[in-house]
Amino acid sequence: MEYRDKVLKCAECGAEFVFTAGEQMFFADKGFKNEPKRCKSCKAKRADSVGQVSNFQRTETKTTCSQCGKETTVPFKPTQGRPVYCRECFQQRRSMGSPA
């Protein structure tokens, strides 16, 4: 298949940008089905904002270990009906190869 440069419109800023024949070949080789939606500068801005985790807050939940009964804190919200283990019991079960 012969590829030719295409002019596309950025979904973010509305500017036109060129989707080169080389880029199209690369997309085809990788198996990508969709054309790019953003120009290079908007794509870079988006990558920078995704890479920043300064606003990310880790949730800590106090709960009781299902194995030993000790109060513990876990970095997720437990799902009802699933066991939750303290660090020691979790490590012990992991080293034994027991399913959770």
Strands 6-9 and 16-19: antiparallel
Q: What is the pLDDT of residue 76?
A: 85
Average pLDDT of span 73-87: 89
Residue appearing with tokens 């027991």: 98
- Is pLDDT at 8 greater than 70 in this prediction? yes
Chain-centroid distance of CA 44 in Å reads 17
* 23-63 pLDDT per residue, tens: 999 999 999 999 999 999 999 998 887 766 555 667 788 99
Share of the chain above pLDDT 90, in %: 65
User: What pLDDT does residue 81 have?
Assistant: 87
pLDDT at 85: 93
Give pLDDT, residue 96: 87
pTM above 0.85, yes or no: no
Report CA torsion sign: 47, 53, 55, 60: positive
Give kind and range of the element (H or E) at residue 96.
helix 87-96
Cβ contact 65:74 at 8 Å:
no
8 contacts: CB under 8 Å, gap ≥ 6: 16, 17, 18, 19, 35, 36
